[in-house]
Amino acid sequence: MHSPKEIDITILKELLKDGRTSFTSLAQQYNTSKDIIWKHYRELEKDGIIVGATIQINVQKLGYSGVAMLMLNVDSQNINRVYEALTQITTECETYRYCGIFRYYNSEFSLAMIARLKTLNELEQAKQRINKQGGVNEIKTLLWTDCRNTPENVLTGGITKKIPSKKDSEQDFPDGAIKLDEVDNQIIQKLTKNGRLPFSSIAEEIGSSTYTVTRRYEKLLKNNYLKTSIQINPVQLGFQAILELHLSLADHGETKTVVDEISKIPGVSYVLQISGDFDLIVVALVKDCKDIIALNEAIDNIQYVKKVNGLIRQIPPMWPTPFQY
């Protein structure tokens, strides 16, 4: 496990928040040189902490009707076999429609699969693909309706100096509709694989100009279609598991208030608003039992939270995962 310095934490937090922030910009904000920022960045890569860069997307604006989490009750002797089969499905899906499969521990549900839906009919298709594997006793569906995604929040160390940015001053992005064309889609696919890929390289690969790619990206970013983030290996920073909390609220009219409070809790990576047995899902990276207890206590102190159900699941070697909501 690596023990990053204060400047390392700063670099990681800012690049998790905006993966295309330049070394020059970071150097100017923190009164240091571009070469020092570059050196620390390369060391973080060498140590296996920074492992890539990707984009996170607004699924509705990209034409999906929603995201479904399919929680599976699987016989213990079949867990590994079903997990491997579903992992193969997600790997083969070039459109990232099936975008995640993970394991739960000490839970009624052993596995979960994430599926992006163009239509509700695709939900039934996803269930059929799962049932074909055999050994699945029950499938519970949770539909995601909204998301607050702040991957930088998993890092609580480092300096607290506020970096002013355009995005900080524009909390509400315009909802202007963009009709995506093939160029937009190609840019999105390239950035999914490498969020820090130079615009000039993207332009060369898709047969466009650097100016066009830059302007298209800026428009997608400004209209909240996507955001870029570096990817870290959480294990290299001491994280051991993901804590997933399912919350029921006493007053649905206070959902935004609750989400605002939860988003301030150290370690919380994203909060999902869902339709189902619960109202919110809180996802946090934890290092030990103390983190789990502290996060549960923080949730308990938030007004309007009526019920909490906790689950532990595997931590991936890359966070955030590509094409996260």
* Mean pLDDT computed over 40-59: 95
pLDDT above 80 for 22? yes
Q: Would you call 145 helix, strand, or coil by DSSP?
A: strand
pTM: 0.85
pLDDT above 90 for 245? yes
pLDDT of 44 reads 96
Percent of the chain scored above 70 by pLDDT?
A: 90
Task: Give 243-302 as a DSSP string.
Answer: EEEEEEES-GGGHHHHHHHHTTSTTEEEEEEEESS-SEEEEEEESSHHHHHHHHHHHHTS
pLDDT of 2 reads 58
pLDDT in tens, 67-123: 999 999 999 999 999 999 888 876 655 455 777 888 998 789 999 999 888 888 888
Strands (E), the chain: 50-57, 66-74, 98-105, 111-117, 136-149, 226-232, 241-249, 268-275, 280-286, 305-313
Per-residue confidence at 3, pLDDT binned at 50, 70, 90? low
pLDDT in tens, 181-220: 999 999 999 999 999 999 999 999 999 999 999 999 999 9
pLDDT of 262 reads 95
pLDDT above 80 for 230? yes
pLDDT in tens, 123-175: 898 899 899 888 999 999 999 988 999 899 998 743 333 333 334 333 333 44
pLDDT above 90 for 63? no
